[in-house]
Structure 1
Amino acid sequence: MNKTELKDFLDNKVVQYNNPKFIESDPIQVPHQFSIKEDIEIAGFLTATISWGNRKSIINNAKRLMELLDNSPFDFVINHTETDLENMHSFVHRTFNSDDAIQFIKSLKHIYLNHNGLETLFAKHTENDSVQNAISKFKTTFFEVEHLQRTKKHISDPLKNSAAKRINMFLRWMVRNDKTGVDFGIWNSLSPAQLSCPLDVHSGNVARKLGLLTRKQNDAKALLELDTNLRNLDANDPVKYDFALFGLGVFEGF
C-alpha cells in the first residue's frame, strides 16, 4: 500500500473500532462508570496501571479495585483512613498486589493535595510535541512520598527506554475528544497531537506488518518511530490509529 491507501485503510479501521461498542470489551469501561472528573481520571489511571494480561481479568480486577475504593475513587484517595487502607489487603492483579495499591492511593493523595491533580502535573512538564518527558517527571513526583521500592516498577519511565504503554493509553483516554463516546477528552490542557500511541505486542506486530515500524523491540525508540509515522498520517490526532492497530491485532488477528 502507498501512503494514501494506508491512510484510507487505517482511517476506515478507526471508524470501525472507535465507537461505543468498543467499550463493552475494553478496560476503559471501568472509568466510564463515573461522571466526576477526578473519579474518572483516578479510575482511569488505576485501571490503566493494571492493564496487562487477560482483558477479562483486567476488567474484573479493576472493578474490584473500585469497590475497595467505595466506588468513590477521589473521595477515598483524599479522605481515607489507615483502617480503610487495611481493607485493600485482599487485592491482587498479577504482580500488582495490595501493598502496591496502597502505595498508589498514598501517592495519588500527594499529587492532588500538593500538585493540583493529575492533569496539572502532566501538563506542567509536557513539551510541544511529546508527553514522554512529562511521564518521566510524573514518575519522579509520584514517588516523592515515602514509598516501597517494589512499587516503582509499576510506572514506566520513557527516559529509561520504556514504551510506557499503559500511561500512554491512560493519556489517550483523558485527552482525546472526538465525540465518539470512547475516550473522555476531559483534559483540555494537553493536545491529542502531543500524545503517543500505546505500543504493545498487538499494535507493534500490526505496525510492523504495515511498514509503520521497523524496530523489533517495543521500547521508547520504537515508539518514537511509530509516532513519527502516525503523525505523517494525521498530525493533529495520531493516536486515533491505536484503535486501528489494536483492533486489527486483537479482533482480526491481522
Structure 2
Amino acid sequence: MNIPQLKEFLDLKVTTYNHPRFIESDPILIPHQFSKKEDIEISGFLTATISWGNRKSIITNAHKMMQMLDHAPYEFVMQHQKSDLEKLRSFVHRTFNEDDFIQFIKSMNHIYTQYGGLEAIFSKNTEEFSTQHAIHHFKKHFFEIEHLQRTQKHVSDPLRNSAAKRINMFLRWMVRNDNNGVDFGIWKTLSPAQLSCPLDVHSGNVARALGLLKRTQNDAKALAELDQALRKLDKDDPVKYDYALFGLGVFEDFSKTLNLKS
C-alpha cells in the first residue's frame, strides 16, 4: 500500500476500534469507573502500571487495587496513615507486589504534594513533539523519596532505551480526547501531537507487517521510528493509530494473516 492507501486503511480501523465497546475488554475500563480528575488519573496510572500479561487478569487485579483503596484512590493517596498501607499487603500482579504497591502510593503522595499532581509533572518537561523526556524526569521525581530499589523497574525510562509502553498508554488515556468516550482528554496542558504509540508485541508486529517499522526490537529506537511514520499519517493525532495497530493485532491477528498470504 502507498501512504494514502495505508492512511485510508488505518483510519478505517481507528473508527472500528476507537469505540465505546473497546472499553469493556480493556484496562481503560478501570479509570472509567470514576468521575473526579484525580481519581481518574491515579486509577489510570496504577492500572497502566500493571498492564502486562493477560488482559482479564490485568482488569481483575486492577479492580482489586481499587477495592483496597476504598474506591477513592486520590483520597487514599493523600490522606492514608501508615496503618492504612497494611491493607495493601496481600496484593500481587506478576512481579508487581505489595511492597511495590505501597511504594507507588507513597511516591504519588509525593508527586501531588510537591509538584501539584501527575499532569503538572508530566507537562513540566514535555518537548514540542515528544513526551519521552518528560517520562524520564517523572521517574526521577517519583523515586526521589526513600524507596525500594526493586520498585524502580516498574516505571520505564525511555532514555534507557525503553519503549515505555505502559506510560505512553497512560498518557494517551489522559491527553487524547477522541470524542468517542474512550480516551479521557482531561489533561489540557499537553497535546495529542506530543504523544507516542504504546508500542508492544501486537502493535509492533502489525506495524512491521505494514512497513511502518523496520527495527525488530520493541525499544525506544523502534518507538522513535514508529512515531515518525505515524506522524506522516496524522501529525496532530498520531497516537490514534494505536487503536488500529492494536486492534489488528489482537482482534484480527493481522500480521500472521498477512504472512500466510505472502
Indicate the TM-score class for this superposition, using the shorter chain for normalisation: over 0.9
Pairing of 1:23-102 with structure 2 (within 5 A): 23-102=23-102
Partner of 1:230: 230
Can you give the 5+ residue segments of structure 1 that lack an aligned partner in the other structure? none
Summarize deviations over 1:44-86 as a string: whole Å, max 9, x none: 0000000000000000000000000000000000000111100
Partner of 1:240: 240
In the alignment of these two chains, the number of paired residues is 254
Deviating runs (4+, > 2 A) in structure 1? none
Q: Distance in 2 between matches of 1:48 and 1:93?
A: 12
Specify the SS of the correspondent of 2:89. helix
Partner of 2:196: 196
Q: Distance in 1 between matches of 2:128 and 2:223?
A: 17
Summarize deviations over 1:108-155 as a string: whole Å, max 9, x none: 000000000000000000011100000000000000110000000000
Q: CA deviation at 1:100?
A: 0.0
Q: Distance in 2 between matches of 1:138 and 1:212?
A: 29
TM-score, length-normalised on structure 2? 0.97
Summarize deviations over 1:214-252 as a string: whole Å, max 9, x none: 000000000000000000000000000000000000000
Q: Distance in 2 between matches of 1:84 and 1:240?
A: 39
Identity of aligned residues (%): 72
Specify the SS of the correspondent of 2:5. helix
Pairing of 1:122-141 with structure 2 (within 5 A): 122-141=122-141
Q: CA deviation at 1:178?
A: 2.0
Q: Distance in 2 between matches of 1:83 and 1:121?
A: 28
Q: Distance in 1 between matches of 2:114 and 2:224?
A: 32
Specify the SS of the correspondent of 1:90. coil
Q: Which amino acid is 1:175 matched to?
A: V
Q: CA deviation at 1:187?
A: 0.1
Partner of 2:118: 118
TM-score, length-normalised on structure 1? 1.00
Q: Which amino acid is 1:39 matched to?
A: D
The CA RMSD measured in Å over matched residues stands at: 0.3
Q: Distance in 1 between matches of 2:184 and 2:23?
A: 12
**2:181 is the alignment partner of 1:181:** yes
Q: Distance in 2 between matches of 1:233 and 1:69?
A: 41
Can you give the 5+ residue segments of structure 2 that lack an aligned partner in the other structure? 255-262
